[in-house]
């Protein structure tokens, strides 16, 4: 009988303990859950706290060198651009030229560029006299040539800076010559060998490419380009290479790397230099005189014998510009070139003076045709 009573007491006491724990949370399962909740939140937050420096620190380390190294290439890029290549300048035009090596000079011949000093611009005057009228000062023109032919004048030679007196005489060795700024042979090896005959003739007579200069300097220059020859007059070098660039651009003539770099070095000192246009001087505008009044250089040669004097007198052409059989050599007063029977341009030439001999034509100031 005592055992059931004891069990009842123990059951009541256990029930009361459970109720107390539920109310006050001492050692109860609720307290255990409450303590595990922060433990779980701490354990989940701990990895995020530790991962923050791992994720953020490396990018900061890698970003720093990128920020410090980027100004260096920017400075290198900006430095050359301190020399501006303004559009319309020779320096800007230089950048459009093709840079490549030379072709061989094989098959080059001056005659492939056509007639010397042809009137390619159709203004009624040959290109040689057009150039002389443009480049000379204190000019006297030959009467009866419609203001075309220059008898005498003064050249301020751009290649040397010296003054040279020009006079049209019977002496073929004139102190003034017309230079092809881009030499014909140089053009040939850099593209002209592919051109048509008409293009080569226009190039050879384009006043953009023609310049009156000292004969001695013209001979020394030869077919040199800007990498091998430059004018002694340094004040003219910018204008000289600008003209070469203008000519090569007009006719799509290439440049070698050395030539390109030589031109660029000069133009960097004059970045605003503009390419010339090669304007043609107008006809007339200067005093005129007859050829007989043209001063000739003194000579010690004795006067010709009477028997030799007669052939030197030019004969008047027949109708249609033909010459009589006694004086078959045709003289073209505009170009001051004479043509022999059988020559390439003889039949097309309308003579203004006729000569019996070549000596007579030379004595009158004419030069032989190249063809």
Per-residue pLDDT of 69-82, as tens digits, reads 333 333 333 333 34
In this prediction, residue 338 carries a pLDDT of 86
220-240 mean pLDDT: 94
Q: Closest Cα to residue 186, out of 113, 119, 288, 270?
A: 113
pLDDT at 120: 85
Q: Mean pLDDT across the stretch 162-179?
A: 88
- The answer to whether 148 and 344 are in contact (CB under 8 A) is no
pLDDT category of residue 277 using cuts at 50, 70 and 90: confident
Instruction: Note every long-range contact of 306-315, with CB atoms under 8 Å and residues 24 or more positions apart, other chains counting.
Output: 311/355, 311/356, 311/357, 311/359, 311/360, 312/357, 312/359, 312/360, 312/363, 312/364, 313/360, 314/353, 314/354, 314/355, 314/360, 314/364, 315/353, 315/354, 315/355, 315/356
Look at residue 282 and tell me whether its pLDDT is greater than 90.
Answer: no
Residue bearing the bigger pLDDT, 123 or 298: 123
Range from 95-104, 252-261, 305-314, 317-326 carrying the lowest mean pLDDT: 305-314
224-253 average pLDDT score: 96
What pLDDT is attached to residue 189?
A: 95
Contact 338/356 with Cβ under 8 angstroms?
Answer: no
Q: What is the pLDDT of residue 307?
A: 44
Question: Model pTM?
Answer: 0.58
Tell me the average pLDDT of the chain.
Answer: 77
Distances (CA, A) of 271 to 92, 231, 244: 9, 19, 15
Sorting pLDDT into bands at 50, 70 and 90, what band is 13?
low
CA 130 to chain centre: 24
pLDDT higher than threshold 70 for residue 51: no
**Is 120:201 a contact under the CB 8 Å cutoff?**
yes
Of the CA atoms within 13 Å of residue 192, those in its CB half-sphere come to 31
Asked whether the predicted pLDDT for residue 64 surpasses 50, the reply is no
pLDDT bracket for residue 335 (50, 70, 90):
confident
What is d(CA 57, CA 70) in angstroms, rounded to the nearest whole number?
21
Q: Rounded to an integer, what distance in angstroms lies between the CA atom of residue 155 and that of residue 338?
A: 26
């Amino acid at each position: 009988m005592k055992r059931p009573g004891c069990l009842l007491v123990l059951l009541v006491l256990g029930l009361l303990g459970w109720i107390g724990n539920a109310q006050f949370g001492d050692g109860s399962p609720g307290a255990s859950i409450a303590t595990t909740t922060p433990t779980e939140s701490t354990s989940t937050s701990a990895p995020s706290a530790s991962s923050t420096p791992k994720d953020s620190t490396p990018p900061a380390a890698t970003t720093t060198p990128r920020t410090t190294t980027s100004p260096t290439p920017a400075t290198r890029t900006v430095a050359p651009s301190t020399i501006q290549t303004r559009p319309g300048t020779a320096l800007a035009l230089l950048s459009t030229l093709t840079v490549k090596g030379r072709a061989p000079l094989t098959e080059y011949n001056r005659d492939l560029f056509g007639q010397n000093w042809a009137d390619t611009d159709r203004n009624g005057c040959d290109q040689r006299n057009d150039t002389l009228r443009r480049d000379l000062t204190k000019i006297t023109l030959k009467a009866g040539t419609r203001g075309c032919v220059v008898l005498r004048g003064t050249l301020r030679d751009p290649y040397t800076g010296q003054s040279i007196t020009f006079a049209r005489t019977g002496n073929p060795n004139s102190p003034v010559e017309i230079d092809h700024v881009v030499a014909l042979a140089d053009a040939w090896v850099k593209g002209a060998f592919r051109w048509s005959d008409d293009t080569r003739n226009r190039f050879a007579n384009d006043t953009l490419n023609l310049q009156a200069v000292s004969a001695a300097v013209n001979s020394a220059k030869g077919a040199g380009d800007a990498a091998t020859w430059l004018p002694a007059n340094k004040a003219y070098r910018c204008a000289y290479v600008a003209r070469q660039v203008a000519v090569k651009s007009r006719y799509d003539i290439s440049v070698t790397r050395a030539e390109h770099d030589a031109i660029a070095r000069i133009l960097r000192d004059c970045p605003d230099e503009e390419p010339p246009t090669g304007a043609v001087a107008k006809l007339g505008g200067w005093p005129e005189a007859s050829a007989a009044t043209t001063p000739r250089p003194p000579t010690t040669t004795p006067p010709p014998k009477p028997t030799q004097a007669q052939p030197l007198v030019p004969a008047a052409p027949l109708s249609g510009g033909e010459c009589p059989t006694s004086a078959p050599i045709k003289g073209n007063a505009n170009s001051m070139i004479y043509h022999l029977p059988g020559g390439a341009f003889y039949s097309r030439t309308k003579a203004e003076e006729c000569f019996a001999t070549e000596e007579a034509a030379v004595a009158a100031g004419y030069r032989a045709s190249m063809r």
